[in-house]
Amino acid sequence: MKATLLGTASGLPASDRFGQTIVLTPEDEADSFFILDSGDGASSLLMRHGFDHRNLRGIFISHMHADHHGGFAQVVKTCMHLNKADDLVVLAPEEGIAPLRAYLDASYLFPQLLGFPIRWVSLAECVGQRIALPGGIALEVYPNAHLAWFRERVGQMDAPPRPCTFESYSAVFAQNGHRVIYSGNLHGPKGSDEMEPFVEPCDLLIAELAHVDPVELGRFLAGRAVRHTVVTHFHPKWNGVPDADILALIRQGAGETGLRGEVSLARDGHTFACR
């Protein structure tokens, strides 16, 4: 498998980074691919980097913050215009499926007009299971606490606008003995600790730096069987900070134990393969 990071920004716009959009390509099917979170501009980014919408097999949405699904409807619309025919699997939080379907309907993207079926899969129902995806990839999902602080805020409201389940997920994608782990968004500076139950062994870890502190990420990675960590989803506070300085903070966190694998800071358009 290989991952191409089309957008590496956090939830705030950046002048040199597009919103979080990752393409995962199976080992045995060079033309087919999955999207991990469809940030704004996702459809245009697919075109820019030579990905044919007709070969899109599925979309994984880690949680319902808009920067992780803001480009979803346009991706579906482009698939329709390009006459995609195969099924599209959409794996999303249970609380997001009905709103996403309603948004497609409100955008006149009716199932009868798309020309291809969408198979909706609730991530809540995937927890504790090994899900077979097209292309020979197996998926495991793990809830994380990214939205815990929203639970607290909503709990303080006199009249919450709607029922919320505060779902957020990390994911493991496995194929032919290789494991790609997508952290999604985590909870606070030490959020990487949430991945401890499933992170090892790992060939490619896609880790966020919007909420996690780089020193704490290094501490988490120290001595672990993670061959390559790719850092993405950069908070604006890292704008203008040299990559070498961020990497130094990660190595500082790893301390004397050190890092067993490589660490890379992603830029838009970078591709990383399992090794």
Closest C-alpha to 126, from 136, 140, 138? 140
Of how many residues is the chain composed? Answer: 275
d(CA 65, CA 207): 17
pLDDT category of residue 158 using cuts at 50, 70 and 90 = confident
Closest CA to 92 of 125, 43, 45: 125
**SS3 letters across 157-198:** CCCCCCCCCCCEEEEEEEECCEEEEECCCCCCCCHHHHHCCC
User: What pLDDT digit, counting tens, does each position of 27-84 carry?
Assistant: 877 789 999 999 999 999 999 999 999 999 999 999 999 999 999 999 999 999 999 9
Q: Which domain holds residue 115?
A: 2-273
CATH number at residue 15: 3.60.15.10
Find out whether 140 and 131 touch, Cβ atoms under 8 Å.
Answer: yes
User: What pLDDT does residue 215 have?
Assistant: 98
Question: Does residue 162 surpass a pLDDT of 90?
Answer: no
Q: What is the mean pLDDT of the chain?
A: 96
In this model, does residue 156 exceed pLDDT 90? Answer: no
Q: Distance of CA 112 to CAs 105, 115, 226, Å?
A: 11, 7, 45
Q: Which pLDDT score, from 0 to 100, does residue 256 have?
A: 96
What is the pLDDT at residue 210? Answer: 97
Residue 259, token pair as written in the block: 């890092």
Q: Based on the structure, what is the number of domains in the chain?
A: 1
Reply yes or no on whether the pLDDT at 97 is more than 90: yes
Determine the average pLDDT of the residues in 20-24.
Answer: 98
Global confidence as pTM: 0.96
In the predicted structure, residue 95 carries a pLDDT above the cut 90: yes
Q: Which two tokens stand for residue 23?
A: 């393409």
Rounded mean pLDDT, 205-214: 98
Q: Judge whether residue 160 has pLDDT over 80.
A: no
Termini Cα distance of the chain? 9
